[in-house]
A and B are shown apart, each in its own frame.
Chain A
């Protein structure tokens, strides 16, 4: 990915509002995903599905906040190391323990 220049103010505001809207949509999806929609016959897979979907949506929301609100998309790439390494560890921890749990 090439270096992104700071877009104009107008574009920036549009991006902010776009992210804001998507965060709301994803929040609604998280609530819907947590409802009791998995058939009982699926057994334990139901719990795993709820967790996995909830976490995937949370990571998508986090990515939008970090990229646009926190300007990682526009800032020096050097900064990315600081945020991506711990986030990677966090992802591994969360998914490994959740999905591979009993």
Chain B
């Protein structure tokens, strides 16, 4: 038996391989989103007028609702992990189910936001608001679009785990749920930054 290959934990960090891999992936994800943030800031500084008028068109109350939904889903995810670790099946299912519901509420609100932008007609945007309408909306749709894609990709394994837990074998892999939890909290993190920079920060004085 080869000792090196059979280790369940990475020898230096002492954490399971999957979790370590997730952290490395998340580090690369931070840089992925940093590219958008950096470009956003640079172009915002050279197009202050466009950015402030366009940002004023966004519905910050829907975004606030989505912020609350994501914060709530982070809490239920953490509680779901704790309950799976302790073998409390019912509570694990309840909190994972709530997390999934929050994910779907987020996506529904996002859909409402997008549709209202597509159907938005005024003298400045006579044909509705789309990613190609101006540089601000290019960023808005790209950044929130990639974020929503992350939400969808997080929901898939959650739904798998929850449905597996109702089968005869049940679901009993707390480390995997914990790893998925890291990813889910990261999705919340990205939104923590997207919310103020897209919806709230626009210079009212200049």
Q: Which A residues contact B (CB, under 8 angstroms)?
A: 9, 12-13, 16-17, 19-20, 23-24, 27, 30-31, 33-34, 36, 38, 40, 42-44, 46-47, 50-51, 54-55, 57-58, 61-62, 65-66, 69-70, 75-76, 78-79, 82-83, 85-87, 89-90, 93-94, 97-98, 101-102
Whether the pair A62, B27 counts as a contact (CB closer than 8 A) is no
Interface of A is mostly: helix
Whether the pair A47, B193 counts as a contact (CB closer than 8 A) is no
B181-206 vs A, CB cutoff 8 Å, 1 = contact: the mask equals: 11001101100110111001101111
Instruction: Name A89's contact: one of B26, B34, B182, B195 (CB within 8 Å).
Output: B34
Whether the pair A93, B45 counts as a contact (CB closer than 8 A) is no
Which segment of B8-16, B101-109, B153-161 sits at the interface?
B8-16
Instruction: Name A101's contact: one of B45, B68, B77 (CB within 8 Å).
Output: B45
6 A-B pairs (CB sep. < 8 Å): A23-B71, A30-B200, A31-B200, A57-B196, A83-B30, A101-B44
Query: B73: shortest Cβ distance to chain A, in Å?
Result: 11
Q: Which B residues contact A (CB, under 8 angstroms)?
A: 12-15, 20, 23-24, 26-27, 30-31, 34, 37-38, 41-42, 44-46, 60, 64, 67-68, 71-72, 74-75, 77-79, 82, 86, 181-182, 185-186, 188-189, 192-193, 195-197, 200-201, 203-206
Q: For the complex, what is the distance from the CA of A13 to the CA of B81, rounded to whole Å?
A: 11
List A contacts of B30 (CB < 8 A): 83, 86-87, 90
Whether the pair B205, A38 counts as a contact (CB closer than 8 A) is yes
